Amino acid sequence: MSDHYPAEIRIGGPIPQIILTKLIRVIVDEAVSLDGYGGPDVTEEGLWQAFRQGAIVALYADQARFGQFDSLEAFLVKHRLHFDRCSEAFCEYNAEIVSYRGGEEAIALPADQSGHVMLRWEEVVGILDDNSLNDRARLDAIRGLVARPGTEPLSPIRFI
């Protein structure tokens, strides 16, 4: 039996108009809400309206399987549509932030319950203690931990 717990997914960036109808159907099948946790299931009409606004579309699920949106995330990656997903911690599962910006795969980072990315202190101390690095290289390495490529902020929806 799988565990189900709250998760949010936000969709933004460039979206080809030709796939919007398919995207909306996939979202409706996920049984998510546009109105936050505990909200009513989204409708096709509500999604059309949300996408037409041209902002980032945020979707919520109280009971996402392992805090993920399996078929929706697969569709988004297949069509290279940008998204961020944040799942809450549950039992032995840590909270997680997943970012996808059209590359080969999504980037998953551990997070706290507030949705902030967490770093392993061993990584930071390892960089600080590395005597082969000068100060500039240390800063660049730490910046690489916090601002990993593919995790830049999600941009509003733009139809192409």
Report residue 43's pLDDT band, with 50, 70 and 90 as the boundaries.
Answer: very high
- Give residue 92's pLDDT: 63
Residue with more model confidence, 145 or 151? 145
- Res 144 pLDDT > 70: yes
- Cα separations in angstroms, 100 against 65, 105, 130, 150: 19, 7, 31, 6
Cβ–Cβ < 8 Å for 100, 107: yes
Residue with more model confidence, 109 or 88? 109
First to last CA, the chain: 41
| pLDDT tens readout for residues 91-124 | 666 677 888 998 888 887 777 766 677 778 898 8
How much is the mean pLDDT over the chain? 86
Neighbours of 66 (CB within 10 A): 14
Cβ–Cβ < 8 Å for 110, 94: yes
